Structure 1
Amino acid sequence: MDQVNPRLDVKWEAPEPGWFKVNFDGASVGNPGQSGIGCILRNSDGICIKEISKKIGVATNNKAEFRVALRGLQLGMELGVQRIHLQGDSLNVVNVVCCNKTPSWRLNQWLQSILVLLATFDEFRISHIYKEGNGEADRLSKMAITNGDPP
């Protein structure tokens, strides 16, 4: 009997009207190793407002994920977004932020910065999406490692 992988059906979905979605991903070649972050902010029509691809030097994959979640929120704040949906393929980041779990002490400073920033939005959501639905952010994070920061 053939088995179907339900993750292959995962697709990115636009946020509700009046909301913006930041998809984020951190990548690391080695753990720790050379790392990059990538995020993309889209409106409710699915139109890209801004994307970021940045090399961050040597970091663990978890540090890259927390850094890019924070950078995505900063991007939303800089652009005056009031309702933000943060979405990434890092269950660690999603669980720590939404479920009030405590990360390792090395990541706690990033979590505290994320929580402070989330409080500045009128409304926010955070959710997990499998890598198959987070392709643009994944591409941007890997591009940063391979090519460095875009001009």
Structure 2
Amino acid sequence: MFSILPVFTPNERSLNTDGSLSGSAGTAAGGGLIRDEVGNWVIGFSRRIGRADSFVAEIWALRDGLQLCHQINARAVMIELDAKSLVEVLNNSSYCNSVISILLYDCKLLISHIPQVSVKHIYREANKCEDRLANLGLFQPFEFIVHSNPPLELIPLVEADSMGSCCNRLCPVFSSFS
């Protein structure tokens, strides 16, 4: 069992992002949420991306979130991603991929302009609001939408987060046979 709410330092913002794919339509979307130091909603977003794979959707969502962090002048940001591969790429300065190089370069440049940044992996179960925002992007009429307040369907999730709700993560059971 783990807590959904991260531990914050004063004036720190939390940026959680997520990508989403629609298997039937083959389209991708991204979304995310910036919270304040006590876990309150600051600003959310969702983006319709079009045809892309899950890694591209994840990195688009991160780029959008970082741009919003700059717009609100966030000086300390804890980036939490459920895409472990993206966390590893961000922490590997020598990583190169021609398909995503421009998006990755933008993310690293945006991160470099924030005085205090940490990037960490979190489990998918702790990223429910961001997952829902990314799913909204799959079907929204506009390419990019900024949500100043939580959309109605996210209010129960946001309230659960603000109360510090916990959720279980099922782990595989390993047994050895002699």
TM-score by length of 1: 0.86
Given candidates 63, 80, 94, the residue that maps to 2:56 is 63
Pairwise CA distance, 1:13: 1.8
2:121 to 113, 121, 128: 128
Query: How many residues matched?
Result: 144
In 1, are the aligned partners of 2:81 and 2:120 still within 8 Å (CA)?
A: yes
Structure with greater helix share of residues:
1
The 5 A counterparts of 1:70-81 are 70-81=63-74
Question: Do the aligned partners of residues 101 and 12 (structure 1) sit closer, same or farther apart at CA in structure 2, a change above 3 Å counting?
Answer: farther
User: Are 2:100 and 1:107 aligned?
Assistant: yes
Gaps of 5+ in 2: 148-178
CA spacing shift, 1:108–1:72, aligned 2, 3 Å = same
Structure 1: which 5+ runs fail to align? 1-7
Q: Give the AA of the match of 1:72.
A: G
Indicate the structure (1 or 2) with the bigger Cα radius of gyration. 2
Give aligned-pair identity as a percent: 22
Between the aligned partners of 2:99 and 2:24, the Cα distance in structure 1 is: 14
Q: In the superposition, relative to structure 1, how do residues 123 and 9 fare at CA in structure 2: closer, same or farther (>3 Å)?
A: closer
> RMSD of aligned C-alpha atoms?
2.1
CA contact under 8 A between 2:5 and 2:39: conserved in structure 1? no
After the TM superposition, list the runs of 4 or more consecutive aligned residues in structure 1 that deviate by more than 3 angstroms. Answer: 146-151
- What TM-score, normalized by structure 2, do the two folds share? 0.74
Change beyond 3 A, Cα 1:113–1:31: farther
